[in-house]
A and B are shown apart, each in its own frame.
Chain A
Amino acid sequence: MILDLERFQAQARPRWRELESLLAALEGRPDRRLNPAEAEQLQELYVQTAADLNRVTHGALAHELKQYLERLVARAYAELYYVPPMRSEIWQPRRWLRIFTAFPGAFRRQARYFALAVLITLLGCAFGGLAVRYDPVSVDVLLPADYLRNPGLRVQEEERGQGRHRNSAQTEAAFSAQLIRHNIQVALLAAALGVTFGIGTALLLFENGVLLGAVAVHYTRQGFGLFMTAWLLPHGVFEIPSILIAGQAGFYLARLLLRRREDRNVRQAMREWLVLVAGLAMMLVWAGFMEAFFSQHHAPVLPYGFKVAVAAAELALLTIYLLMIGRRGIGTEAYPGVPSENG
């Protein structure tokens, strides 16, 4: 049937205008809520306009009019089928604070990806450590930075406070920010590399492990084990787990992408991924402050035993936090909809 466009438009124009103004009003609202009367009106106008679009599509070749109607239908469709977030969901600060309990929960739900990250890092550590142990020449390849290659010199420098300014609180503050920024960037990359189906994440974790293992063995063999422990652990007990959690997030993402599209609960999964990333970012902020303000002080200012004790205490607190917080009793873990174990 050929449509008489002119007459058709004259008849339909009022309802298009009405729909347009209703949509403009709705889109202007931050929470996009409809009252019942508006919902009814929107539904009715949407159905009519959709029918108009069908008529134009099949009965005439009016490109501009079709485009206009498509745009209108698309907007109305979006308003009708979108479940808006509750106003309270957006603006309540309490919701934002819930990240502190949501993070350990997400960590525990996806523990198997954490285990995978730990495994790969340990493999890296073993590789790096064994290489340095049995082939000392490999140090030059594995530890590119000068300061890592010559522990004796480095320890001397560190203990004498060389290469550091006297007025240290200032430099330490600036240093901490750079550390936080760099670490979060690396961790975020590890989490994002999940899109390479986890291959990138695994490589990054492995490389990290190699470096860690090589440094540990290299320093220990030269008799600086205690120094190194006291130097690295106060921030390392947060930094290393947070990189592992980044790996966990990366593998979680990879697993999600490997699922068939219909099986993905994308919305929940994204939330889970974001919670993990936000949590590890918080951990890295703490690690950054510790590294700049605490780790860089050595004996005799801070006895090594004390530093190691602080590190142990931190680790204990972190473990308790990750394993205990947000637990609502065995078997009643929140978020039943989250694809956690075998999806």
Chain B
Amino acid sequence: MTVTPLTRASTASELTIATPEGVLFRLPLAGPASRLYAMLVDATIVLGTVNGLGLLVYWIFSKAPGFGVMVITLAEFAIGFAYSAWLEGHWNGQTIGKRLFHLRVIDQDGLPLRIEQAWVRNLMRVFDVLPFAYLVGGLSMLTSPLMQRFGDRVAGTLVVRQTPLAGPGEEFWMRQKYNSFIDYPAIAMKLRRAATPELASLIQDALRRRNDLAAYARREIYRELAAYLQSELSPFPDELLERLSDEQYLINASGILFGDTRPSRSRA
């Protein structure tokens, strides 16, 4: 397992895992704020449950309030620890609060949490809350590259963000039928050779997000990109440019860069 160097400047700290197959993937770590919110939700749920239970217990033990106090005191104490430990251990590393905020506790090797890990990290809470308001746990998180409080460090766990991601959609921007750049195979080839993958992806992204951009921003971005390509990589003749909008220029360029149509074997 390798760990990315800490990027203190951004909240987008992450854990990088190298699998035995040699694949790298990153897991985004949860920041203190979202964890605090999740904890507040959980605390509210526990408090509500305990109070509801308290009413029930006092009603049952109305003849013997002392025993009622005993039952509720012990139940409150047990629920306080067991709620998180039990849910995290048996419900994919999530409590209700964590599920609401798309957080999940996992093993620091990227594997699901084990039951004993869930208990250890939650019992260690007695230390993390010290001296008040999770000061110890908070400091531990800020100084840990994996944003672990002490409970996490001991249990070997960490909290990751798990926002649901939609799969890639079916619709892409339309591939055009006719690409006028193909009529200039030499220049098109030059474009293909000179464009870096970063630049190619930039063009593709700009086109794909066409509808997310404001009209003004779109115009500006497309104009700049097209101008850059035209001046630095692929000087297509002016008579062609006169007929093309910047957007069409980029669509054509993208067709050349990604297209399966080699200029020499073109459809044209």
Contact = CB atoms under 8 A, between A and B. Distances in A.
A178 interface: yes
Contact of B74 (A63, A64, A68, A181): A181
Interface stretch (A34-42, A165-173, A215-223, A230-238): A165-173
Nearest to B21: A50
A2 B257 CA distance: 8
Contacts of B170: 13
A170 B66 contact: yes
11 contacts: A30-B90, A68-B167, A73-B25, A78-B111, A181-B73, A192-B123, A192-B126, A192-B150, A267-B114, A274-B119, A277-B123
Contacts of A16: 167-168
Nearest to A292: B70
Interface string B144-160: 00000010011110000
Given A82-B111, A184-B77, A270 B155 contact: yes
Given A77-B25, A173-B67, A59 B197 contact: yes
Interface residues of A, number: 67
Contacts of A311: none
B97 interface: no
A174 B197 contact: no
Interface residues of B, number: 59
Contacts of A5: 204, 258
- Give 3 closest A-B pairs by Cβ, nearest first: A170-B66, A61-B201, A177-B73
A173 B66 contact: yes
Interface in B187-209: 195, 197-198, 200-202, 204-205
Contacts of A53: 23, 25
A27 interface: yes
Contacts of B198: 61
B48 interface: no
A341 interface: no
Interface of B: 17, 19, 21, 23-27, 64-67, 69-71, 73-74, 77, 90, 92, 106, 110-112, 114-117, 119-120, 123-124, 126-127, 150, 153-156, 162, 165-168, 170, 172, 175, 195, 197-198, 200-202, 204-205, 257-260
Given A50-B21, A61-B197, A78-B112, A2 B65 contact: no
A257 interface: yes
B115 A13 contact: no
Given A170-B65, A277-B123, A271 B167 contact: no
A185 B123 CA distance: 10
Contacts of B124: 192, 195
Contact of B64 (A17, A170, A185): A170
A67 B167 CA distance: 10
User: Secondary structure of the A side of the interface?
Assistant: helix
Interface string A1-39: 011111101000100110010000001001010000000
B116 to A, nearest CB: 5
A174 B17 contact: no
Given A30-B90, A61-B201, A64-B165, 9 more contacts: A6-B175, A60-B200, A61-B200, A73-B19, A74-B17, A176-B70, A177-B69, A181-B77, A191-B123
Contacts of B204: 5, 60, 62
B254 to A, nearest CB: 10
Given A65-B168, A78-B111, A4 B197 contact: no
Contacts of A13: 167-168, 170
Contact of B120 (A180, A257, A270): A270
A135 B60 CA distance: 54
A85 interface: yes
A57 interface: yes
Contacts of B111: 77-78, 81-82
A258 to B, nearest CB: 13
B263 to A, nearest CB: 15
A213 B179 CA distance: 93
B73 to A, nearest CB: 4
Contact of A273 (B106, B120, B150): B120
